[in-house]
Chain A
């Protein structure tokens, strides 16, 4: 047996993720992905008013509050047969798209970039050369003085021993490939992105009433009645334009520049054949046309029609009482009685194993780009082909950690561009005198429904059953359940587990390569408990066992 290493927790953004890998001959031979926290919010929803569900579910996650609320109201709208007004559709699109713009930028720069960028090495860079590099590759070139200032700021952090967010990184690791000048340029953009993301978050507040925790969503539409005017639209548009400029001029050029040094990662971190997309961003009132097309890929780039009846959840290897795999409508959340034991040969996670037609599809930006590409969507096809050409890699490189990270950037562009059209639509509706944002409805005694959307991390679905006007059953399957789920009864492993197998590891004590792939999925396990503890800060652990 190879050497096993465990990384726990992978992220403190949300929840507790543990990754264990077995290494043999400097490669990952096997991998286990474990959610270390029980999520049982569904149990809390039983007996409540369906109209209140979204207030609860949006608290289940600290990053994607809005998207859970959206799935939840959609589930109730489906159950109660409600068609929302056109303006509500557009405003929901805009806010959801704003979430994508914010989330993906933060992910690239603040959660993923340091897997590729050696921030300490940036101190060695020549600011004059960095300025030249930025003139060549960046859409927003800066002077050598600017880069010198950034470098001095970094120096202050490093020399004070206070690396802050950069602490405990694997600086100097042999797997870092960027020249010092590129590292400095990326470090500068890390800081620019911090400033930008603070602004981008404000898009939510325009129609959302407040941010965080926007409160404009209701079953039947949105409540942004007073925001339906030219001034508010302009306010949103101004931030959107600034965000879009950052994506076009900084994010995408950085992505391409960094990727060009890591082309070998176009053959690492893939291993998934199946991909699932629910689709999102309705382009018309009937919601028959979606900006992100839905679909399922069994292998290659052939796209099948989405059939939500084929979704089941398996709990054989998760800490729930054993039962046959069931569709979310019939889903149960029954944690095993007594203590749970982490055992990679048996049960090892709080995450269930969702399956589509028995397969374990990957969800998220890569799945969405592949489905759009496979369906021949002109915008996606054009962008993907250009990117592959620029990098000088074949379409095989899409199925990898590099492809996953690039796909996230490309869809930021696609969604960002579409936002301009929705703003125009909203303007023209107002000009026509259409200011309707809510469709009234009545609660049925008995009903069933589901709400799907595709959110920054992937396919998200909520299923609800209503009886006597109250919630009888509620289940949701979140993107991280799809990606970070464990093996199933047949031994089929989850997408992240599969992706890790075969990854080269230069130093088992510093498993940077594992983090690259895990972070490329944008890990986010719901329901973080948040406390301040001045004495026992959790230690980021890498254990060699």
Chain B
């Protein structure tokens, strides 16, 4: 009954490009069908409150905006050692965000294999429920990145309907 693969969009839709992860997850839910072991979750900015869903996953695909010294719109994929390590970053005292929630999984003896995909944001400060046009243009590509991750894991998926600019066999 527990899903093994979790696609987790995170971010705040009220701060323009910060909502990328959520917009990608919305697209995935709208246009694609996945087998039962895949769950697609809109995580918002819930931080430690996501531990419940994270701690059930064997594979975690996080979708988020990523500041990675690139240009706005650049696509990024972080895995393994590239994932910022709060453990070493001397960042927190008692505070817990998504990455710390991952660290806390170690206490539950269950750390999911994690990959983070997303794009360099242009604007994460303006209060707006819309992505900038630069990032909006990348939503579909980030969707494809997620689908590719599923392929690597050997998980099939189906399009709900045929739409322009999006194909798969």
State which of B10, B50, B97 has its C-beta within 8 Å of the C-beta of A12.
B97
Assess whether B46 is in contact with A11, with CB atoms less than 8 Å apart.
no
Q: Mark B81-94, 1 if CB is under 8 A from A, else 0.
A: 01110111111111
Q: Name the interface residues of B117-153: CB closer than 8 Å to any CB of A.
A: 118, 121, 124-125, 127-129
- Residues of chain A within 8 A (CB-CB) of B83 are 534
Assess whether A162 is in contact with B11, with CB atoms less than 8 Å apart.
no
State which of A14, A112, A191 has its C-beta within 8 Å of the C-beta of B107.
A191
Assess whether A212 is in contact with B41, with CB atoms less than 8 Å apart.
yes
Assess whether B107 is in contact with A153, with CB atoms less than 8 Å apart.
yes
Assess whether A63 is in contact with B46, with CB atoms less than 8 Å apart.
yes
State which of A60, A102, A169, A531 has its C-beta within 8 Å of the C-beta of B18.
A531
Closest CB in chain B relative to A101 CB, distance in Å: 13
Q: 20 new A-B pairs (CB below 8 Å) besides A198-B55, A530-B12, A538-B91?
A: A12-B95, A13-B95, A13-B96, A44-B129, A59-B14, A164-B104, A165-B103, A167-B90, A167-B91, A168-B92, A191-B108, A194-B108, A211-B52, A212-B53, A213-B42, A527-B15, A529-B18, A533-B68, A535-B68, A537-B91
Q: Which of A198, A532, A535 gathers most chain B CB within 10 Å?
A: A532
Q: Given the complex of chains A and B, what is the CA–CA distance between A476 and B69 in angstroms? A: 37
Q: Given the complex of chains A and B, what is the CA–CA distance between A190 and B94 in angstroms? A: 12
Closest CB in chain A relative to B18 CB, distance in Å: 5
Given contacts A194-B51, A202-B52, contact A44 B127 (CB under 8 A): yes
The interface size of chain B toward A, counting residues with CB under 8 Å, comes to 60
Q: Name the interface residues of A517-545: CB closer than 8 Å to any CB of B.
A: 519, 527-540
- Let me know if A197 is at the binding interface, CB within 8 A: yes
Assess whether A540 is in contact with B93, with CB atoms less than 8 Å apart.
yes
State which of B46, B87, B94, B106 has its C-beta within 8 Å of the C-beta of A62.
B46
Assess whether B42 is in contact with A114, with CB atoms less than 8 Å apart.
no
- Let me know if B6 is at the binding interface, CB within 8 A: no
Tell me the nearest residue of chain B to A201, going by C-beta. Answer: B52
- Residues of chain B within 8 A (CB-CB) of A536 are 67
- Residues of chain A within 8 A (CB-CB) of B86 are 164, 167, 537
- Let me know if A195 is at the binding interface, CB within 8 A: yes
- Residues of chain A within 8 A (CB-CB) of B78 are 532, 534
- Let me know if A175 is at the binding interface, CB within 8 A: no
Assess whether A194 is in contact with B94, with CB atoms less than 8 Å apart.
no
- Residues of chain B within 8 A (CB-CB) of A274 are none
Chain B contact residues, CB within 8 Å of chain A: 10-15, 18, 41-53, 55, 62, 64-69, 78, 82-84, 86-100, 103-104, 106-108, 116, 118, 121, 124-125, 127-129
Given contacts A212-B42, A530-B98, A532-B84, contact A540 B92 (CB under 8 A): yes
Assess whether B94 is in contact with A112, with CB atoms less than 8 Å apart.
yes
Q: Which of B89, B116, B121, B128 gathers most chain A CB within 10 Å?
A: B89
- Let me know if A199 is at the binding interface, CB within 8 A: yes
- Let me know if A110 is at the binding interface, CB within 8 A: yes
Report the contact-size class of chain A (Cβ under 8 Å from the partner).
35 or more
- Residues of chain B within 8 A (CB-CB) of A529 are 12, 15, 18, 124-125
Q: Name the interface residues of A247-285: CB closer than 8 Å to any CB of B.
A: none
Count, A-B residue pairs, CB within 8 A: 185
Assess whether B68 is in contact with A534, with CB atoms less than 8 Å apart.
yes
Tell me the nearest residue of chain A to B69, going by C-beta. Answer: A535
Assess whether A212 is in contact with B44, with CB atoms less than 8 Å apart.
yes
- Let me know if A56 is at the binding interface, CB within 8 A: yes
Assess whether A13 is in contact with B69, with CB atoms less than 8 Å apart.
no
Assess whether B108 is in contact with A533, with CB atoms less than 8 Å apart.
no
- Residues of chain B within 8 A (CB-CB) of A195 are 108
Interface of A is mostly: loop
Q: Name the interface residues of A64-123: CB closer than 8 Å to any CB of B.
A: 65, 102, 106, 110-112, 114-115
Q: Which of B45, B66, B103 gathers most chain A CB within 10 Å?
A: B45
Q: Which 7 A-B pairs have the closest CB atoms?
A: A62-B45, A198-B52, A537-B89, A12-B95, A201-B52, A162-B87, A533-B67
State which of A163, A201, A532, A539 has its C-beta within 8 Å of the C-beta of B64.
A532
- Let me know if A40 is at the binding interface, CB within 8 A: yes
Q: Given the complex of chains A and B, what is the CA–CA distance between A196 and B122 in angstroms? A: 39
Given contacts A62-B47, A212-B44, A530-B10, contact A110 B94 (CB under 8 A): yes
- Residues of chain B within 8 A (CB-CB) of A211 are 52-53
Q: Given the complex of chains A and B, what is the CA–CA distance between A465 and B24 in angstroms? A: 34
Q: Given the complex of chains A and B, what is the CA–CA distance between A59 and B106 in angstroms? A: 29
Assess whether B95 is in contact with A194, with CB atoms less than 8 Å apart.
no
Assess whether A165 is in contact with B92, with CB atoms less than 8 Å apart.
yes
21 A/B residue pairs, CB under 8 Å, sorted by A: A11-B95, A59-B14, A62-B12, A106-B48, A111-B96, A162-B88, A165-B96, A167-B86, A169-B93, A195-B108, A198-B55, A201-B51, A529-B15, A529-B125, A530-B11, A531-B11, A531-B65, A537-B90, A539-B90, A540-B91, A540-B92
Assess whether A12 is in contact with B18, with CB atoms less than 8 Å apart.
no
- Residues of chain A within 8 A (CB-CB) of B69 are 535
- Residues of chain B within 8 A (CB-CB) of A133 are none
- Residues of chain B within 8 A (CB-CB) of A190 are 107
Q: Given the complex of chains A and B, what is the CA–CA distance between A161 and B93 in angstroms? A: 15
Given contacts A56-B14, A529-B15, A530-B10, contact A12 B91 (CB under 8 A): yes
